[in-house]
Structure 1
Amino acid sequence: MDMQVAMQEEQVNSLNGMDLGKMAQTVEALKRDPLLARFEFRARNEWIDGGENRSTIRDFYGAGAEDTSRSAPFEFVNGEPPVLLGNNEGANPVEFLLHALAGCVTTTTVLHAAARGIRIESISTQLRGAIDLQGLLALDEGVPAGYGSIRIDMEIKADCSDDELDTLLHFVQGHSPVCNTVCRPVPVTIVRNVKA
């Protein structure tokens, strides 16, 4: 097979690093059996000292079964800067939230661009989250403990019109799982487990 023909076939079957055949198969499988769309992701966390704690992420449930394909867990160290009584052991949890939001918005953009036949040349984002620590420290009950606002500045180059890009990004804001989670109230329950 000619190298140029092979590259063209690869481009037809893949867009933005997404396998279009597998994407179509996944969508069809989910249409046939919506229960396959239900996933449960998990994280475990252990306090180390002060503001330092460590999260591990490994297994999850999805596509109708437990996924055990990861040979080792991913580990993330949560810390705080000295001004917040830490020693810069790692990014702090609200910074990890920005990381999760950036990653999810980027991946969702790439996925839905590929589904629409839009080739992405580049994407970069800068996120800023405004937070007032009076909420965390219970100094003012009128101040939320979390972010008051988050801004995502995105630079994106793609082979489509500005209108198509604006439509895509509007769609992404409503369909990025992390963005959707942050933008609506989500019940979170803290349950104390008693160790034997």
Structure 2
Amino acid sequence: MKGSRTINGFDIHEISDVIETITKSPKRAKAKVRAIYEWEVSAKKSGFTEDSFFANLDNSFSSHPCVILNKNEWVIPIKLLLESLTKSMTTTMLIHSAARGIEIMALTISVAAETDIRGFMQLDDAIRSGFKEVKIEMIIKGNLSETQKNQLIQYAIEAPIYDVLSNNVTLNTSTH
């Protein structure tokens, strides 16, 4: 076994092994990330359901993260982005519906996306380091008409994080 050498908290040999593996077998570079946010009025509860799928070097998908790139730390910011999206959509929908007298009993927003580690590792310029698509599913419970449900969906897609992700935003980067 190779000796361990870390830089910035990451094992250099582990990074090399991941690069070698995903270069030989690109299917192993896929990672699915999903965030589910659930809100219920009666239970007065809300929160995230842990439900992520990470790429394993044995080319399977598992709900238990394999230990690649320092326990999948590379995917944590991606998952936080999806969690922020679900929470932003939920909050926006609840505020707008309350302001209009529309009562929601329960709401679940699930977002899912797939990424490719080769883009993140800059191994292929044709592959983005982020997502090509984010899929959003909503389950809205309450005594609602279809028109009201469609109205609620329109409120949700006006959420600030949804807006940032779906529109071009100028990012100004500098170093000091």
TM range (shorter): 0.5 to 0.7
Alignment-derived partner of residue 112 in structure 2? 128
State the Cα distance separating 1:165 from its structure 2 match.
0.9
CA 148–83 in structure 1, closer or farther in 2 if over 3 Å, else same: farther
CA distance in 2, matches of 1:135, 1:90: 12
Alignment-derived partner of residue 186 in structure 1? 169
Any idea what SS the aligned residue of 2:83 has? helix
* 1:75-114 equivalence runs, <5 A: 82-87=66-71, 92-114=76-98
Which residue, 99, 105, 109 being the options, matches 1:115?
99
Letter in 2 for 1:187: T
Q: Please give the per-residue CA displacement for 1:110-163, whole angstroms capped at 9, x wherever unaligned.
A: 011111210010011222112122221222222221111111211111232012
Any idea what SS the aligned residue of 1:87 has? helix
CA 187–154 in structure 1, closer or farther in 2 if over 3 Å, else same: same
Which residue, 138, 141, 165 being the options, matches 2:149?
165
CA distance in 2, matches of 1:82, 1:49: 17
Note if contact 2:92-2:155 (Cα within 8 Å) is conserved in structure 1: no
* 1:33-72 equivalence runs, <5 A: 49-50=9-10
Letter in 1 for 2:171: V
CA distance in 1, matches of 2:74, 2:173: 24
Extract structure 1 runs of 4+ deviating beyond 3 A.
80-84, 88-91
CA 90–187 in structure 1, closer or farther in 2 if over 3 Å, else same: closer
Alignment-derived partner of residue 131 in structure 2? 147
Bigger-Rg structure (1/2): 1
Note if contact 1:118-1:158 (Cα within 8 Å) is conserved in structure 2: no
Gaps of 5+ in 1: 1-47, 52-79
Letter in 2 for 1:49: G
Aligned residues: 117
Q: Which has the higher contact order (CA 8 A, sep 6+)?
A: 2
CA distance in 2, matches of 1:190, 1:82: 33
CA distance in 1, matches of 2:115, 2:73: 21
Any idea what SS the aligned residue of 2:102 has? coil
TM-score (norm 1): 0.53
CA distance in 2, matches of 1:98, 1:138: 22
Any idea what SS the aligned residue of 1:190 has? coil
Any idea what SS the aligned residue of 2:136 has? strand
TM-score (norm 2): 0.58
